Structure 1
Amino acid sequence: MPDRKCIIHAKLLDVMLHRLCHQLIENHANFDETVLLGLQPRGIYFADRIQRRLKKILNKEIDKGYLDTTFHRDDFRRRDSPLAPSKTDVPFLIEDKNVILLDDVLYTGRSVRAALDAMVTFGRPRKVELMVLIDRKYTRHLPIESDYVGRAVNTIDSQRVLVEWEEQNEEDGVWITSKATT
């Protein structure tokens, strides 16, 4: 595949996930008052991995849901073709809980803004934090920052950061590609 560069291979990704879980444990201890929300469509794989690792480390179930932001996006009606929504599955209330939003890549911040709007359907959280695997620095349209970051990368607008998970029948890894090749 032309113009595709691996920036995080499977073993390094494993180390990053381990570190991120321990950072969460430092700040949320036993997770009695904390839930995970993976942003559709790609943040759900990240949320699944984090939840499985936390369960293994803490030896307890951690509440996790999937949040679709399609109808809360500011560009929803501006596209030439309609967006296809993904499934929202939040089987718990988030009222007065600490919520960790998880997404694979933080780019402009607009998806996170939409997630904040979509999330209030399930209650008003006590606190919201953001965890991203990749933070594309210097690209924000909104003043949004992540509380937990796997890795910050510098990219230009003509590039795309592609996170691949073995759950998607891919090899675990993070790639920088040209937008034209994806």
Structure 2
Amino acid sequence: MRSDAKENYLHLLATARAVVSEEGANASMRDIARKAGMGPATLFRHFPTRDALLDTLLRSSLEALTQKADAFESASSADEALVAWLREAVGFVRIYSGVVTLMANALSDPGSALHTSCENLRNAGTRLLTRAQVEGMADRNMTGSDMFALIGALGWIGDQASYSERSEYLFDVIASAILTHRPSRDAQVNERAGR
């Protein structure tokens, strides 16, 4: 890639990241091009579809989350690894409004540019869940797909102004429901207070 083309590509990507962070995964491709100070043809030359653009934007984050699952798996107990990774995953889906629907659709569409990254992410989370289940620390009926759905739900809750204050509490409720031996936040607070 020529240096000017690479510069345009990186500028488009930085602009797209800012626009998608602000407006969500359904941000207009034309708005991205306009805000980057380029014509739509330049954007579409680099990213022929919205999925191609979003795959490029999200792939590094999805791969980082997948790698974090590996790191948590080897560095933490099964229950701590699962909760730490869940927290990271929920934090990620809160960054981009609408990304949960996009990821869910990508999982069911092997032709999607995002399919492989999303599948790898779900598999990484499933490994953490399975490890916790094998060690008797997590609900044996839960599947990786269930957990993926809960991540999406918790991300959505954090996006809603009326629920955002309670999002940490609700995260704890879900984590306590997944893990069989994890006390609820109320129990932890009472224990610290000596009640």
Report the TM-score range of the alignment, normalised by the length of the smaller protein: under 0.3
Higher strand share: 1
Instruction: Identify the structure with bigger relative contact order (alpha carbons < 8 Å, sequence gap 6+).
Output: 1
The TM-score with structure 2 as length reference comes to: 0.21
Higher helix share: 2
